[in-house]
Amino acid sequence: MARYIVTRLLGFIPLLLGVSMCSYALMALAPGGPAGVLSGMARRSTLAERTAIADRFGLNQPWYVQYLRWLEKLTLHHDLGISYIDGRPVLEKILEKLPVTLEVVGIAFVLTLVLAVPLAVAAAAREDSLFDHIATFLAFVGYCSPSFWIASMLLEVFAVQLRWLPASGLSDIGVASFDLGDHLRHLILPVATLTIVGMGSWMRYQRSAMVEVLGQDFIRTARAKGLAERVILFRHALPKAVLPVITLFGLFLPAFVVGSYFVESIFSLPGMGSLGLNAILERDYPTIMGTTFLTALMVAVGNLMADVACTLVDPRIRYA
């Protein structure tokens, strides 16, 4: 296992290189650029001022030269660069925003796991029942609905129409000190959005895996021995049915992060999502590359964690 983990970690290098190179190429070839945005911030800008901005940040060089300069800073100095907009280090800005995203994504991930697995097991145990049909329908709704649409609907209903929950931010205006209750109230709608989207996918896969396992011979043998249905479901069937879902773990974490980009923008949360979207709109290349690089790293680490978790659940799985 140790050899396999080391091999996978070494495989991250060409993966991250490929992702970063493609990202920089697409970003640099897109219409517009930082020089135009920065010069547009001033009331009047001349051609000489725009040229000076391009020279300052090396924007007059081909995109691959700019990429190699960014890669050199990253590999030799562990530096993600300086933001074009405010002149702050990109790593500092990411570390400032990351806790908010981790808090929202972490709570949503735990709620998805706690709610989706029991509901999927219950639906599979009552296959073709009314409960199964309702749960499957709701799972498809959550799976097919974009996160920004769900966020907009929850915002309209619970914040605008009913006025039960706050619409934006992490605290009410005028609150001087940290208030846990107020903070949690502001997290309800963003967390609910990501949880609904995550439950849709997780319930579908978990239910299908449980239905397949419940039809196998060892389950019929367990029932013939008179074991309680609860014991059969959670002690015998679920460990065999959870493997396909664990493999999705590597995709769920970055999916939550990508979903948080839209959710944080809609609910005005100061997290990675807002940072990434603002960087795209402002053509802030270093910040875009920093957030993209971090997301790609999370995808790779998430897949590795899923493989390791599979071996812990099923000792028969071995990686060379």
Same domain, 103 and 56: no
Same domain, 48 and 10: yes
Same domain, 125 and 256: yes
Per the structure, how many domains does the chain have?
A: 2
Same domain, 63 and 135: no
Same domain, 27 and 119: no
Same domain, 157 and 306: yes
pLDDT tens-digit readout, 106-133: 898 889 888 988 898 888 888 888 998 9
% of residues, the chain, pLDDT over 90: 3
- Per-residue pLDDT band for 41 (boundaries 50, 70, 90) equals low
Q: What is the mean pLDDT of the chain?
A: 81
- Per-residue pLDDT band for 250 (boundaries 50, 70, 90) equals low
pLDDT tens-digit readout, 216-248: 888 888 888 888 888 888 888 888 887 777 777
* pTM exceeds 0.85: no
Residues 6+ apart with CB under 8 A from 50: 35, 36, 39
- Per-residue pLDDT band for 192 (boundaries 50, 70, 90) equals very high
